[in-house]
Structure formats: structure tokens, C-alpha cells
Amino acid sequence: MSSTIDDVTRSRITDVYGHVPDVLAEGLQRCFDQSNDPSSPDELWDHRDVVMITYADQIRESGKSPLDAQRQFLLDHNLDELIRCVHLLPFCPSTSDDGFSVADYLAVDPGSGDWNDIKRLGERFDLMYDLVLNHSSQKHRWFQGFLNDEPEYKDFYSTADPSEDLSEVVRPRSLPLLTEFDSASGKRHVWTTFSADQVDLNYANPHVMLAMLETLVEYARRGARIIRLDAIAFLWKELGTS
């Protein structure tokens, strides 16, 4: 990675925020400084490659973590000769929706294994991770800080006035769009596009953008060659826009 924010990145941040917020300029520089600088692979993946999509706890064997059991199963059946990439569906600690309500983006659910298990799997296969961008679990420490009015998490989540006309919002679920929570400063109505347990992050706050970019970089450092950006079409909430 470059040691400075390049013009393209600067331009794209400006498109979103109107300028480059200091927190993003400093934070991205930190990400670049701390990142490895891997050389580009000789071969890129394409339509000829077989990708297996799986949950991290799909295969179980006594005495092994599910992730290690899955690795051993693939190797025992010589599937490394057929499958190039293993796409692990969300493997972080989660409170609902089969892993898509993330309670800690930088941890592996201990019921599935740990980062070392994933690293060993990556020694024989390319790895693909999901980055659940639109929302976190309401049990995430960020949301608990938001409810407690901790300054660090002020405006970390998207809220709305329930009296506003939200009838034009298009989404893939029929559950209530807003969920009421009690916070230290009173009741807050938080966007919950997918479920009441999945509280929507507020990307208008550049601190949120930085937190997720740091997560993206960490996933790359942790062996992800491909990253699927989950529910990315729902990130930005601005009434009156398409």
C-alpha cells in the first residue's frame, strides 16, 4: 500500500463528505503504515475457479474445532485439488441471523475456532470473508456505548423521527424499519433495516467509516483474498433521495 492517501481515495472521500475529515486522513494513514505490502499474486481468480461457500461451524469432529475439522475434511477428500477458494460466511461472535448480526468484528466465534484455525485453512485455499457493513448487533460494544451516550460513540448509529414519512424506503424485510431503544438521554428510534437486533451504522459519521475501513484492512491482513461487502446498498440514509 502507498504510504500516503492517493488522489483517487481523497477524491472519493470528498464525494461522500464534501472534504477529507481529519479522522479519516489520520486513520487511513495509520492503516497504511501498519499494513503489510504483499506483492500481487501471479494469477487472479476468475470464472474457472471453484469457490465453496460454507459456515465456519459446518463440519464437526470430536477433539477438533469446527474450522479445523472442516480443513481436515477438505484435505482428506483431496478437495484442495478441486476447490480454489473457501468463502467463510460470517464467523464472528453474533447474536442472530446466522452470523449476520455481528457482536465483535475482529474476533472469531469461539464455538467455531480461532484465527489460527483460519490461518491454517488459508495455507491450502484462498479465503473469502464477509464484511457485514450495514449494521452490527445491538449487543456490540459500539451500540452499548451509543445507548450510554459515550462521546466516542455519539451518532454512531442511524436514527430517525418516527413521525417522518418513511414509506418509500425499499428493503428486503417486512419487520419495523425503526426500533425504539432507551438511552441515557431518552428514547432513540434507531434504523433496523433487517431486524431489531441488527442496528444500522451511521456512515455520515466519519468515525464509523474509519472503524469499518480498519476492519476491512484487518481482514486483508488476516488472510482474506476476497471480501464480500454485505448489504452495501443500504448504507446511506438520506430522506428524500432515491
All residues at 6 or more sequence positions from 59 whose CB lies less than 8 Å from its CB, including other chains: 66, 69, 70, 73
Cell for 102? Answer: 455481528
Cβ proximity of 234 and 200 under 8 Å = yes
* Pairing of the two strands 126-132 and 224-230: parallel
Does residue 57 have an active-site annotation? Answer: no
Length of the chain: 242
Bridge partner list, 195: 198
**Nearest-CA neighbor of 226 among 123, 107, 130?**
130
* Cβ neighbours around 32 below 10 Å, total: 17
> How much is the CA Rg of the chain, to the nearest whole Å?
20
Cell for 1? Answer: 500500500
CA–CA dist 200, 159 (Å, integer): 8
Instruction: Report DSSP state, residue 102.
Output: B
Cell for 79? Answer: 478437495
Q: Active-site residues: which are they? A: 230
